[in-house]
Amino acid sequence: IAGITQAPTSQILAAGRRMTLRCTQDMRHNAMYWYRQDLGLGLRLIHYSNTAGTTGKGEVPDGYSVSRANTDDFPLTLASAVPSQTSVYFCASSDLAATSYNEQFFGPGTRLTVL
């Protein structure tokens, strides 16, 4: 059982390029999340999805889009990358129905550098 996988592990990207970060989970969790983590700041929610077919905006959604065509996959797309999007990106999932506290499980992260 892999849990949550993310790809790529790291990427250097030229500004203006389009990039999709992939996230797949095999735990059949209904909820999935994308965060960015920057030095000195807490994890910040970009987008989330409470169930397949629905998505919502988090704290910092500008410049990012997501889709949730099925339960397992939750890709994050940067339509036209800018240097301020240099960050470590974490995908997470949780089973909203299973527990009372919605523990989130995290993928290993993608380190993205935009030049």
Partner 1 sequence: GQNIDQPTEMTATEGAIVQINCTYQTSGFNGLFWYQQHAGEAPTFLSYNVLDGLEEKGRFSSFLSRSKGYSYLLLKELQMKDSASYLCAVMDSNYQLIWGAGTKLIIKP
User: Does the protein bind partner 1 through residue 109 (CB under 8 A)?
Assistant: yes
Amino acid at 102: N
C-alpha to C-alpha distance for 103 and 43, rounded to whole angstroms: 15
Q: Which of 7, 22, 27, 58 binds partner 1 (CB under 8 A)?
A: 58
> Quick one: tokens of 23?
């996230």
The answer to the question of residue 105 lying near partner 1 (CB under 8 A) is yes
**Side by side, which strands form the sheet with 76-78?**
4-7, 19-25, 76-78, 64-66
Per-residue binder mask for partner 1 (CB under 8 A), 61-100, x = binder = -----------------------------x-----x---x
- Contacts with partner 1 by CB under 8 A lie at 40-45, 48, 58, 90, 96, 100-109
